Every structure is written in structure tokens, then in C-alpha cells.
Chain A
């Protein structure tokens, strides 16, 4: 979208001239059916709130024990990072790096960026890095794989329950809450609105100075 009100569908390049959709409306591309926009109310406030919650939850989800297992009189507990370390110790460092990025580093960076961006927009504070943060966050979108990890935990637990008793820790509950938050966050965040607001802030700042 630009100031003329024209837009192009990102997946079929159809040139469209649409009025700004109202809150609650859904706009689909008339040619390929892609969902183009779906504005929600209080988008920046909600994104900001969810980002704060997600950022806080990230730490218990990563530091508290998730699943414990006892076998032959011995007990083991696992957290996200200990899986990465175990793989590393077995000389599986390429896999360890992939798991570390997709389940720890990228989610942390993604939620921090979302917190930074929505915070700046919420308080109307211009920052020349907003554009860059926004671009990074979009590129990371696909590589944050917490919900896939959750499914892996379920499959692994079903497998292990057959051979040994399991104990679920607070880390797991925090992790589940974190997934709920990040899922809500990705479905809430209206990128087009964010880009428009960033542009607006930039213009206001230029006029002021």
C-alpha cells in the first residue's frame, strides 16, 4: 500500500485499489484468495502487552526443569538447553546448532524485537532502527519453532511413558504458556499497521526537527 491507495497482492501481484478496511473486516485478494489484511482493534496495545508477557515467560520456560524421568533408580531432568548440550556432546553439533537457533535464540530475539517495536509505537517514540528491527522480525517469523517443539515433547513423552515414569516440571507449564502467547502474538500483530505507524513516526520526527 502507498499513499495513492493502490496495493499489490504479495503472492499473485494483482494491482488492487481498496478502501482502508474497517476493524473486524477481512480482505482477501480477489484473484488468488490470499488474506490481505484483517485489522483488529487496539493492535499496538495488545501486541505490546503480549510481548511483555512473552518476554517474562521466556525465562522460566528456559530455566526451570521441563520433564523428569527416572529409570533404574536414576533420575534425569531436561530443559531446552540441556538437549542442545547433549547433542553437542555426541558430536552432533550441526543438529545442536539448529535446535538451539529454532527453539531458543530465534524465539528470544523475535519476542525482544516485538517488545522493542511495539513499545516504541505505544509510546510514540521514533527510532531510526525501527525499520531494521521490523525487517529482522519478519525474516525470523518462519524460524521460530516453539509449537513444533511442543509437539515433539508430546511425542517424546508418549514414547518414554511406555518405559519409565515421567515427572512434569514448572518449566513445561511456563513453556506451554509461552507458546500460547507467541501464537496469539503472531496472529495479532498487524504488520501493515506497524509499517504505517513507523512511517508516520518518521515523518512527524522529520517535521519536528
Chain B
């Protein structure tokens, strides 16, 4: 076996669902073990990932400028954006929790958007990169994405518990946009095929 050879160059396709290694014979398109469709690489990886990423970039704007929730106290409403909620937490002395929400709601989504953009650009323009390091970056992006749902679940809890005749918490329009950003970037990461970083 030649050293450091891609399976595809040797005529093998790895089933995406069950990991079965199949010798590529003309147009064999289904995995003999699990019947799922075989693809050399994720189909239309770059196009799909780019489309999902662009949509999340657009939705990222309303997610950050509109209020994510409003606290109604005896007739007066106090609307918070994502950033505003964090500032308030830190102001009232809850620094660790404030930092946690900052990481989950601002740092992770922003670095994810930038990270996936870089991955897509590097493959599209065939940048000379350290593929191992960039694969690591991909893994981190794919792993942390779901933790951004923190804010969405928190709203669902707060809206449910703080529902009294005088005091109420109402979810704001940014919640929909933010949930969409998290889900779309998760799909974007899922559709990106890290093996493209190694194909030369």
C-alpha cells in the first residue's frame, strides 16, 4: 500500500452512513451493507454549505439588532437584545454566567460564521493550508455549534416561569432569527466535507 494515499484515489468509496469501504465499480451507487446512497464526497458540499452560510449571515443581523426578549413589569416593557442581556448580567454581578452566555450567544456563532467562510474559501481558491490544522478547526466548529441553542432554551424556560399578572417575559423577534442562525450554521457545517481539505 503506498503511503498516505487517499482512499478515493485507490478507487474506494467510504459509505457515509455505516463506514463500509466499497470498491468503486462503474456506477454502483448503493452501499451493500446499509443500502444508503454512496457518494465519493458529500454531494454539492461547497454549494450547499455556502448557501446555508449566506442565509445565516443575513439572519445574523436581525438576530442581533432586534430584542430577543422583553420584560414587562406593571405596564412598562424593557426590551433586551442578545448583547443587552449579557451587559445586564455582568452589571448585576453575575460575571461567570454573563461570560457563559457571551461565549454561547456571541463568540460561538460569530466564530462559526467566520470559520465556515474560511473553510469554504480555502477549498474554493485552493489555498495552501495545513490540512491537519484546518481539519481540527472544522471539528471544533462542528462540535460547538449546538451549544448556541443555550439562549433559545433559556427563553423557553423564562417565558414559561415568569408569567404572572404583573410581571411577564415575552420572547422577541430576534429569537426566531437567532434559532434559525444556529440551525442553518449547524447544517452548513454538516454539509461541508472536510475531506475536500485533503484533496489536492
CA A71 – CA B97 in complex, angstroms? 23
CA A99 – CA B158 in complex, angstroms? 13
Given contacts A32-B131, A95-B176, A152-B153, contact A13 B34 (CB under 8 A): no
CA A31 – CA B186 in complex, angstroms? 26
Contacts of A148 in B (CB 8 A): 146-147, 149-150, 153
Given contacts A94-B176, A95-B155, A153-B157, contact A135 B34 (CB under 8 A): yes
User: B106-140 vs A: 1/0 string, CB under 8 Å?
Assistant: 00000000000000000000000001100110110
Task: Judge whether A15 is part of the interface by a CB distance below 8 angstroms.
Answer: yes
Q: Which residues in chain B, 92-106, are within 8 Å of chain A measured between CB atoms? A: 92, 94, 97, 100-101, 104
Selected contact of B164 from candidates A71, A94, A160, CB within 8 Å: A71
Is A152's CB under 8 angstroms from B161's CB? no
Task: Judge whether B188 is part of the interface by a CB distance below 8 angstroms.
Answer: no
Is B156's CB under 8 angstroms from A95's CB? yes
Given contacts A2-B22, A10-B14, A90-B170, contact A155 B92 (CB under 8 A): no
Selected contact of B100 from candidates A82, A86, A102, A155, CB within 8 Å: A155
Is A99's CB under 8 angstroms from B153's CB? yes
Contacts of A92 in B (CB 8 A): 171, 175-176
Is A159's CB under 8 angstroms from B89's CB? yes
Given contacts A8-B12, A151-B150, A159-B89, contact A195 B171 (CB under 8 A): no
Number of interface residues of B (CB under 8 A): 67
Contacts of A71 in B (CB 8 A): 162, 164, 167
Selected contact of A31 from candidates B4, B12, B100, CB within 8 Å: B4
Task: Judge whether A204 is part of the interface by a CB distance below 8 angstroms.
Answer: no
Q: Which residues in chain A, 1-52, are within 8 Å of chain B measured between CB atoms? A: 1-2, 4, 6-8, 10-15, 17, 31-34
